[in-house]
């Protein structure tokens, strides 16, 4: 049996005793979380979140892409969230990902096209990358300054979050 069919069987069990019919559409904790897609990170479990508590956004590397900004604006303006966590993690697949090498491999296997994506957004330093994502969101003209945005590194070996502090100013001159 394939993994999708296996997941569908698990869903049948889940739906048989479903206690979340009244979970709110508007996140009860007014929280939005951006995390990596990594298989080891169950965001809700890591943070003790129940259905109805928080929006969860995830992509490769927990990068503040245009798609993430789009989703956060919907979350902030239409559904009232006012705190944002960005969660990177140790041993991330995007850490050391070489954009050029991956592009060359795909073009070799599939042909060179003008296909998106333009970049794969690999990075070489976990904390520095997280700092960039924090600054991207804090500097965005459409994300209100009243939204609290904080960044963390999740340790996949211990399950523990550690905060990464950055200068509050949106753009530093370092």
Q: Which of residues 64-103 bind a second copy (CB under 8 A)?
A: 65-71, 73-75, 77-79, 83, 85, 91, 93-94, 97, 102
**Which residue of 59, 95, 127, 170 would you call a contact of a second copy, by CB under 8 A?**
59
Please state the closest distance from residue 170 (CB atom) to a second copy, in A.
13
Beta-ladder partners of 148: 83
DSSP string, the chain: --HHHHHHHHHHHHHHT---TT--SS-TT-EEEEEE--TT--HHHHHTPPTTSEEEEEETT----HHHHHHHHIIIIIH---EEEEEEETT-TTBT--HHHHHHHHHHHH----PSPS----BS-HHHHHHHHHHHHHH-TTS-TTSEEEEEEE-TTT--EEEE---SSSS---
**Which residue of 100, 108, 113, 171 would you call a contact of a second copy, by CB under 8 A?**
113
**Which residue of 108, 111, 171, 173 would you call a contact of a second copy, by CB under 8 A?**
111
Nearer to a second copy, 63 or 131 (CB): 63
Nearer to a second copy, 45 or 174 (CB): 45
**Which residue of 127, 132, 161, 170 would you call a contact of a second copy, by CB under 8 A?**
161
Among positions 14-33, residues that touch a second copy (CB under 8 A) are 14-15, 18, 20-21, 23-32
DSSP 78: I
Among positions 128-157, residues that touch a second copy (CB under 8 A) are 140-142, 144, 148, 150, 156-157
Please state the closest distance from residue 50 (CB atom) to a second copy, in A.
8
């Amino acid at each position: 049996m394939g993994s999708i069919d296996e997941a569908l069987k698990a869903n049948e069990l889940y739906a048989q005793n479903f206690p979340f019919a009244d979970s709110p559409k508007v996140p009860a904790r007014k929280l939005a979380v951006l995390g990596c897609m990594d298989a080891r990170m169950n965001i809700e479990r890591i943070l003790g979140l129940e259905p109805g508590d928080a929006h969860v956004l995830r992509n490769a590397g927990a990068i503040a892409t245009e798609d993430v900004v789009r989703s956060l604006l919907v979350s902030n303006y239409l559904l009232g969230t006012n705190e944002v966590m960005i969660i990177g993690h140790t041993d991330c697949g995007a850490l050391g990902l070489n954009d050029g090498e991956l592009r060359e491999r795909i073009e070799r296997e599939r042909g060179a096209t003008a296909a998106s994506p333009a970049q794969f957004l690999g990075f070489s330093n976990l904390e520095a990358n997280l700092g960039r994502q924090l600054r991207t969101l804090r500097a965005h003209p459409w994300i209100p300054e009243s939204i609290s945005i904080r960044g963390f590194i999740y340790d996949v070996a211990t399950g523990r979050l550690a905060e990464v502090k950055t200068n509050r100013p949106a753009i530093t001159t370092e």
